[in-house]
Amino acid sequence: MKFENTLEFAKYLDTIDPLASYQQEFNFPKVNGKKVIYFTGNSLGLQPKKSLEYVNQVMSDWAQLAVEGHFYADKPWWDYHERFCEPLSKVVGAKASEVTVMNTLTVNLHLLMASFYRPSGKRVKIICEEKAFPSDQYLIESQVKMHNLDPKICIIEAKRRPGEHNFRTQDILELIQEHGQEVALVLMGGVNYYTGQVLDMQAITQKAHSVGSKIGWDLAHAAGNVALDLHQWEVDFAAWCSYKYMNAGPGNASGCFIHQKHHHNKDLVRLAGWWGHNKQRRFLMEKEFDPIDSANGWQVSNPSILSLAPYLASVDMFDQVGMQALITKRDKITSFLEYTIKQVAQQTRTQYEIITPNDPIQRASQLSVLLHGQGKDLFTYLLEQGVIVDWREPNVIRLAPVPLYTSYLDVYQFGQIFKQACSAI
Ligand SMILES: *Cc1c(COP(=O)(O)O)cnc(C)c1O
């Protein structure tokens, strides 16, 4: 589609947008009494208005039923988490039995590594990407140390080529091949948090398996944002947080995927707890751990129902909309944003570089813009004018138009404010 940087055109795109009405379903912060233009849904998604109802229901059930709520609440608590399996499996391309929600992202990656990073003999290495999200770096290093191994030997980082911002799939595949039978686990971010690059998860998964390694994906920036087919790709495990593109609220529960080929393997090491035990016999308080033969077999504690409630509100909304519709709008609105930035930069002679790949297969809803010279003043100016973007040192702004609640009008208005900012600074 040929875009135009005009108010009329942006409004026209909104009138033909099948998801336009969803913006009303969210609460927006305000600056100077006006709803903000929110581009940080990749960091913390907005609050769906419905989530309050879900939370209130739990509060009211607790007040009226107390312990009886485990079985007689509107949505009983003892299997509340199972309500996620079906709708969330569609978000990540899995079978319902392969998905569960529990804990938080880094914690889940630790639990899953306990099962799937089992170094032995020469097979001790973990391949990850360089400059991974810090939590992932600490996670991997501490796991290696827990096995009394040396991180300097065991952690192999895939690197970008000098002067390039993004990874080349071929380089990652070759790195896995090079380390071959020494690779115990490949663990990477499916969507890079800094650049927004989407990795070729299918090809990398295949390659990891071809050398006999396990593979796990951190899908923090992928869940609810990109098309995933975890079951078909035969990914061993994955985990994601729910508070970025999935709008479940700060620090809320993480989703996990464990491929069904592992469900029946009772020899796998697990850090177990009673919520992963045979559901029929859970309250018999028996001695031997008998894991549920689904992803729920990795559950540990009885989950925080108050925190699952807003996540369920969001998952129900994703189920109603469907990933396909989201992805269609995502591509269009991201391209419109890219076009708008280019137009403004040209008009104001701003030096910039979009470091997110422009190949539509390698990007999703985020554009990372490297500004040459502007510094943080630009970020502050935008903020004062009610545009919330994310700032990363040294001078990258990350913008994520979220298909569920960003309008084309928002993008146009951002362009106007960005233009003032570039001229003023
Ligand atoms: C956001 C993010 C995290 C956050 O981890 P928490 O355990 O939820 O605090 C971890 N890894 C990546 C890649 C992220 O983007």
83-120 pLDDT per residue, tens:
999 999 999 999 999 999 999 999 999 999 999 999 99
Which of 2-16, 175-189, 376-390 has the least mean pLDDT?
376-390
Structure tokens of 221?
């920036």
- Which helix (H) or strand (E) segment is 390 a member of? strand 390-392
pLDDT at 374: 67
The answer to whether residues 182 and 123 touch, using CB atoms and an 8 Å cutoff, is yes
Q: For residue range 203-262, what is the model confidence (pLDDT) as tens digits?
A: 999 999 999 999 999 999 999 999 999 999 999 999 999 999 999 999 999 999 999 999
Question: In a mutational test of the pocket of ligand 1, which residue from 107, 130, 140, 241 has the highest number of ligand atoms less than 8 Å from its CB?
Answer: 241
The answer to whether the pTM exceeds 0.95 is yes
Q: Whose CA is nearest to atom 10 of ligand 1?
A: 135
The answer to whether residues 273 and 301 touch, using CB atoms and an 8 Å cutoff, is yes
The reply to whether ligand 1 has any atom less than 6 angstroms from the CB of 218 is yes
Share of the chain above pLDDT 90, in %: 90
Q: Which SS3 state, helix, strand or coil, does residue 294 take? A: coil
Q: At what angle do helices 376-384 and 408-424 cross, to 10 degrees?
A: 130
Q: Whose CA is nearest to atom 14 of ligand 1?
A: 220
CA 200 / ligand 1 centre spacing (Å): 20
Listed residue (143, 127, 25, 63) closest to 306, CA to CA: 63
Question: In a mutational test of the pocket of ligand 1, which residue from 103, 187, 193 has the highest number of ligand atoms less than 8 Å from its CB?
Answer: 193
The reply to whether ligand 1 has any atom less than 6 angstroms from the CB of 241 is yes
pLDDT of 315 strictly over 70: yes
CA 202 / ligand 1 centre spacing (Å): 22
Structure tokens of 348?
């104001």
CA 112 / ligand 1 centre spacing (Å): 15
Dist. CA 246–CA 251, nearest whole Å: 12
> Which is the closest atom of ligand 1 to the Cα of 133?
13
pLDDT of 29 strictly over 90: yes
CA 95 / ligand 1 centre spacing (Å): 24
